[in-house]
Structure 1
Amino acid sequence: MTISRRALLTGSAAVTVLAAGGGYLAGRRHEPEAAAPAPAAPPKYRSRPDLDLLPDVTVTTPGSSGGLIFLTPFAATALRGPLIVDERGSPVWFRKVPDPATVAIDFKPQTYRGRPVLTWWEGTIGGTGGQGVGQGEFVVADQAYREITRIRAAGTEQADQHDLVLTDRGTALFWVYDPVAYDLTALGGPADGVLHDGVLQEIDVATGRKVFEWRARDHVDVAESYAPLPQGDSAHLPYDYLHPNSVSLDTDGHLLLSARHTWAVYKVHRTTGEVIWRIGGKKSDLRVDERSAFSWQHDFQRRRDGSYSVFDNGAGISVEREYSRGLVFRVDEKARTVTFAAEYVHPERLSAPTQGNFRELADGGSFVGWGQQPHFTEHAADGTVRLAGHLPADNQSYRAYKAEWAAAAQDQPALGLRVEGGNTIVSASWNGHTGVRRWRARSGGQPGRLAASAEAERAGFETTFPVAGIPEYVVVEALDEAGQVIGSSSAIPVRV
């Protein structure tokens, strides 16, 4: 007896199947039925089950100022890699970094050779005293998420994770932590000690050639550090006296540097490497008012109105203030003063002992990534919170950014199917494509002969909608704002 696949799927042949197998069933001794196994949890994304361990991003204060959010989730039990989410916390794009023990750090949009790109760091994190020191390289990807190049440190060392700046010269600025032999007896350490020198490199991206290098120990005294020396069995491990964690460019082209362990930020001459001024720490060249004092800070930047900003952790190896903040201050180089301008605080007054960043947005607002605390906030110019969200409590993201981003992924849309109540449920997604506005399902008996059967507005990373009945095959098409097809999945057979 022949039974059609369609009859099996629709259930009309159920009795016939049992009858056809009657001889087999009748000739077998009846056994007690084993307990049915517990049903498996449904996948988070039926079209992309490989992303089931992607951590959820929760938005607690909705906002709609535009732009996407860039994160690098890090947790032992979740997927790690660069992640873009929208203002509702729904994923837009994710890429898992390679194993083993590799993480992604500092994921953000930049410009290279006049075109938008994405950059992030990949590597492993080590260090002493709980302070992260990276060994890795930077990835540069285009608007189709294709890798353009990888940026590596010159010499034998590897690039540190803390920051990367692509310049309009076609160069890249980043840090290297270089362990060098150093006599630490003046600080109470061993004569044959090791110092982590903070080395700023500028590399020509196209050729990998080093065009500039700045070594901190030539300009910043080891005695300026607030970090304790390694002790006991760790005494000969590298002393991370500086812990440089950001680099940026001032409006006059000179370098702006932040060093967490000296509680100081530096303006450095782009050509000579001389320190023009330092703010904060034990040897500040400018007088800092009480409200502008910072410690264990990250992410020193110049703002459009001429002020400067840092992410003031206020906590690290020691706790100096009750909460972390985005701090804005003004510098008067003639009067040699630093005066408070504003601070941006999380509604829960979070304290972030490590990591974090604070950036001005194009509309005058500001965006804060709270580092070790898995939170981010967007603030209006007056400091009020207009968007807030977070990763799961066991997670963190070294930095968080918000920016406009448009991309056209080069792979196909993904399709997942299930049968429910006599209908087929379609789940469609397209990792990274920002131009999808609607989804259309086409179905039928042959892959080459499918007719439109259902449409739905895009609803987050994965859109789920029904197709009437149980067809042989289904394909989904991604539609843009004008209703034009911009991508199509493969034709997938429906299976119960």
Structure 2
Amino acid sequence: MTDAKVSRRNVLLGVGGAVVCTAAGAGAGFVIADKDAAPPAAAAQPAPAKYRSRPDLRALPDVTITTPANATAPGLIFLTPASGTGLWGPLLVDEKGSPVWFRKVPDPATVAIDFKVQRYRNKPVLTWWEGTIGGTGGQGVGQGEFVIADTSYRELSRVRAAGSEQADQHDFVITPDDTALFWVYDPVPYDLAALGGPADGVLHDGVLQEVDIRTGRRLFEWRARDHVGLDESYAPLPAGESAHLPYDYFHANSVGLDADGNLLVSARHTWTAYKIDRRTGEVIWRIGGRKSDLRVDEKSAFSWQHDFRRRRDGSYSVFDNGAGVTKEREQSRGLIFTVDESARTVTFGKEFLHPTKISAPTQGNFRELADGGSFIGWGQSPWFTEYAPDGTVRLDGHLPLDNQSYRAYKAEWAGAPLDQPALGLHVDGGNVVVSASWNGSTKVAKWRARAGGQPRALTESVEADRTGFETMLTLPGTPEYVVAEALDSGGKVLGTSAAIPVRV
């Protein structure tokens, strides 16, 4: 764990491994291919440059908006696209699907997961997970670390698990005390004979850690096998040649804080949401599964779920996949219900469905927006949807259909990168076409191209409104040098590119 203004990995560059996305197994559905494996023939030819100013982003996936924004909550959309292109990293797009910021994960990490806005030291930050996933029979178990970056996209910290383990990707929560909550999947020797498995088997224990971000000191640790029996699981034992792979009986995939400060946990393979005493580690109650402590009405029953949360009005929400190893529902949904701890009951509140009846066997999330609306990332299905409080769809879109994003979020974000705007030039019909972009800047409203015979004597200029990640401007003739200036809505210069010579 590092906690420095500029860390050893402040500049994140590198090439990730080849990736194959699959629905196999009951976990997150990611399988990472061998980095040294030969790429498929179709990938042998490089794709044409998508952005002349940033040719390194040629494989950045397109985001399609199918239902345009209508009375939406303010904010940008946070994704972690996963496809076979090898270009993995946190991706921020606007409501039109245009990229705002992207950063490729560095070696040796191959995957970025769970990109979102949080607060650290009372300031807004970006957080995401970097690492590798797989190696346990397609169960979606991660080994990596969490990144915290400031509004200039500089790393503030890398948070790692305390001890010898590596952090799992499924969730990362910064608490108001500047501590971090996250999971570790710990394979431990375990006698599985009573379940029909090997006596010398291996169990994946779900380990919840809370660490101090600044020091890395472990403050709290909770182990699922100390509190949750294997008889609660719906996951089948590994069998045949896979019998000695770790049995992922619990599969923790979210952690959060309840209003009283205790912990809220989702375990996909037990179909259960747990409330856990943050001081003692004892289970306060279970909702759902084989040993529910509360009576759950029929419409509130969920299975293979993700992302259990408390909402501002006191209700609870979960992304009910309804599908995994088995299919229990025809379509996945965002589910809201109320809990009466005195009466020990769970009562249905509302559900949010996709118009195309999406079933997502893996991944996904369901979050409340600041204005009372809701936002769903459909996990294995590459869609994301924003809903009004009454359930009306007010924005809908998707990554390419061969992609997926473990979660998708919407939140307000103001980014001010420290690097210069990027500039690309080409001559067309005797004129210079200027392509300008600035990865991560959220305040650019216009671009100005300036040109002349010397870098310090730029007498010609043209302006154009920003039209997406990259904006094109045309300068008449073929001047010697060109710069691009990024302007805010009031015309103030936010940043200037280097002066680039025009080569005919």
Q: CA deviation at 1:206?
A: 0.2
Match of 1:417 in 2: 425
Q: Within 5 Å, which residues of 2 pair with 1:152-171?
A: 152-171=160-179
Describe the SS at the equivalent of 2:132: strand
Match of 1:176 in 2: 184
2:55 to 35, 39, 49: 49
Q: Structure 1 stretch 478-487 or stretch 198-207: which is displaced more?
A: 478-487
CA contact (8 A) 1:454 1:466 kept: yes
Describe the SS at the equivalent of 1:446: coil
Describe the SS at the equivalent of 2:304: coil
TM-score normalised according to structure 1 size: 0.91
Describe the SS at the equivalent of 1:179: strand
Unaligned residue ranges in structure 1 (runs of 5+) = 1-39
Match of 2:68 in 1: 62
Deviation per CA, 1:169-189: give whole Å up to 9, x if none.
Answer: 110000000011111111111
The separation in 2 between residues aligned to 1:422 and 1:250, in whole angstroms, is 64
Letter in 1 for 2:422: A
Describe the SS at the equivalent of 2:400: coil
TM-score normalised according to structure 2 size: 0.89
CA contact (8 A) 2:173 2:180 kept: yes
CA contact (8 A) 1:69 1:401 kept: yes
Match of 2:434 in 1: 426
The separation in 1 between residues aligned to 2:180 and 2:189, in whole angstroms, is 28
1:327 to 310, 328, 335: 335
Deviation per CA, 1:101-133: give whole Å up to 9, x if none.
Answer: 610000001000100000000000015453200
Letter in 1 for 2:387: H
CA contact (8 A) 1:440 1:452 kept: no
Deviation per CA, 1:247-273: give whole Å up to 9, x if none.
Answer: 000011000000000000000011011
Match of 1:449 in 2: 457
Larger Rg: 1
The separation in 1 between residues aligned to 2:274 and 2:49, in whole angstroms, is 49
2:344 is the counterpart of 1:367: no
Unaligned residue ranges in structure 2 (runs of 5+) = 1-45
Describe the SS at the equivalent of 1:105: strand
Number of corresponding residues: 457
1:305 to 281, 288, 313: 313
Deviation per CA, 1:345-403: give whole Å up to 9, x if none.
Answer: 11101000000000000000000000000000000001111000000011110000000
Q: Structure 1 stretch 61-70 or stretch 266-275: which is displaced more?
A: 61-70
Describe the SS at the equivalent of 1:261: helix
Match of 2:389 in 1: 381
CA contact (8 A) 1:54 1:78 kept: no
The separation in 2 between residues aligned to 1:403 and 1:97, in whole angstroms, is 22
Indicate the percent of aligned positions where both proteins have the same amino acid.
76
The separation in 1 between residues aligned to 2:295 and 2:385, in whole angstroms, is 31
Describe the SS at the equivalent of 2:269: helix
Q: CA deviation at 1:451?
A: 2.0
Letter in 2 for 1:346: H
Change in Cα spacing, 1:318 to 1:41, as seen in structure 2 (3 Å) is closer
Q: CA deviation at 1:481?
A: 1.8
Match of 1:9 in 2: none
Describe the SS at the equivalent of 1:321: coil
Q: Structure 1 stretch 257-266 or stretch 420-429: which is displaced more?
A: 420-429
Match of 2:289 in 1: 281
1:124 to 132, 142, 150: 132
Match of 1:290 in 2: 298
CA contact (8 A) 2:137 2:245 kept: no
The separation in 1 between residues aligned to 2:348 and 2:389, in whole angstroms, is 16
Q: Structure 1 stretch 342-351 or stretch 477-486: which is displaced more?
A: 477-486
Q: CA deviation at 1:231?
A: 0.7
Match of 2:120 in 1: 112
Change in Cα spacing, 1:227 to 1:354, as seen in structure 2 (3 Å) is same
Q: Within 5 Å, which residues of 2 pair with 1:227-306?
A: 227-306=235-314
CA contact (8 A) 1:172 1:205 kept: yes
Q: Within 5 Å, which residues of 2 pair with 1:472-491?
A: 472-491=480-499
Letter in 2 for 1:373: S
Match of 1:86 in 2: 94
